[in-house]
Amino acid sequence: MPKITVLPHETLAPEGKVIENVSSGESILEVLLANGIELEHACEMSCACTTCHVIVKEGFSSLEEASDEEEDLLDKAWGLKPTSRLSCQALVADKDLIIEIPKYTINHAKENH
């Protein structure tokens, strides 16, 4: 079973997190939420916003290609990279994933004071 490694994120996963024994076919977002990483998902996983945007650092090629609808939304995401995905749409396959959660979303910016 694949695992998902979440790189450290200032507020959502300060230490980072390794999630073992992930079931293929689950969305990255479902896995994160089930493991205590409260990634924003303003549209309730309906592929209508970009708040659950993640960057897949390793394992990107194991994911199914993004739909045209997802690609159109990703164009609006903050910090877009070639390996960006909406975590509500990216289904875990059979390879381990390393993901980065961007510091900002289109809905919310967190600043250091």
Q: How far apart are CA 47 and CA 10, in angstroms?
A: 25
- pLDDT of 46-68, one tens digit each? 999 999 999 999 999 999 999 99
Both structure tokens of 81: 């990279």
Closest CA to 85 of 40, 35, 27: 27
Does pLDDT of 78 surpass 70? yes
Does pLDDT of 34 surpass 90? yes
Q: List the domains of the chain with CATH numbers.
A: 4-100 (3.10.20.30)
What is the reported pLDDT for 107?
A: 60
Buried b (16+ CB within 10 A) or exposed e, 15-42: eebebeebeeebbbbbbbbeeebebbbe
What is the reported pLDDT for 111?
A: 39
What is the reported pLDDT for 63?
A: 97
Please give the model's pTM, rounded to 2 decimal places: 0.91
Q: Which residue has the tokens 């939304």?
A: 73
